[in-house]
Structure 1
Amino acid sequence: MKKNNLLLALIHLVLLLTAASSFAKARCELPPEANQITIKRYLQCLDSTLNNAKQLQASWIEKRRYELAKRERETGDSQILQLFTNSITSHNKYVAKSCQWRYLLHLPNAVNAAINYKRCEIQLVEQFTASLKQPL
């Protein structure tokens, strides 16, 4: 029974990672002389890119949680998983604050502020995902 649960969990993780990595990376481009419709489409493209990046990141976070929980069961060291969880929380706060000051920097132009916030968030999410992909 325990082996079946472990096998099921591994299959779930593989499927989750496969689905997340299969998202096509949209190339969002904003022409220099963009009108309101083009800007709206660009913002939607950034939203889509951000959602895909967050889904991929969530998959890697779950993979690492699974690996660390397994290591915790094997070694009895309960600090590792807790520290990992705290680092995720801290990183999410960092992303919000880091992009927030960039947003404020571009006000009162709300469109430029929103574009810069989304670009910032995408970049930081992708950076963190890259660090999660590093072998343990």
Structure 2
Amino acid sequence: MTILSLSMLAVALHTAAIEEKCPWPESGPQQQRYHQQLSCYDQQLVTARRQLAQWQQHHQFVLQQHSQRTGRPAALNSFQAATESFQQLKEQHCRWQYQLQLPDVQLGAAYYKRCQLQLILQRAEQLESLAAR
């Protein structure tokens, strides 16, 4: 299985998990359904961001220890750069999905938050699997 195939599979699994936790409300006025959906995404984002932060802190700590032991900070510096790049990628990747839905701002916000959630969950899973090695 190629890296692209694995990445697409991970996105599909995260999408299914997000849809299970935050299904689109079936009834009620559209404004209320948007509000419920966005509220659910916000709750999920808080948890996902916390999980990602924990794994980032774990790797930061491990790499700092390695840097102090060996005197070689290259891995730590690369990890920090990768973390910053991920933040930029996440913002830009999700922004175009938001903009595509305009002028429907609420639908755009739902796409944006769902995109953020997918990427954060995928990154946290990657960092967790690296820690298990």
Determine if the TM-score, normalized by the shorter chain, exceeds 0.5: yes
Aligned length: 112
Counterparts of 1:92 and 1:72 in 2: how far apart (Å)?
Answer: 24
Distance 1:31 1:40, change over 3 A: same
* CA root-mean-square deviation: 1.7
Matches within 5 A, 1:1-136: 27-32=21-26, 34-35=28-29, 36-135=31-130, 136=133
Between Structure 1 and Structure 2, the one with more helix by share is 2
CA distance in 2, matches of 1:109, 1:34: 18
Unaligned runs of 5+ in 2: 1-17
Distance in 2 between the 1:131 and 1:113 partners? Answer: 27
In the TM superposition, what whole-angstrom CA distance separates every residue of 1:8-30 from its partner, at most 9, and x where no partner exists? Answer: xxxxxxxxxxxxxxxxx981111
Identical-residue share of aligned pairs (%): 28
TM-score (norm 1): 0.77
Cα displacement string for residues 32-67 of structure 1 (whole angstroms, at most 9, x for unaligned residues): 555222321221110010111000000000000000
Larger radius of gyration: 1
TM-score where L is the length of structure 2: 0.78
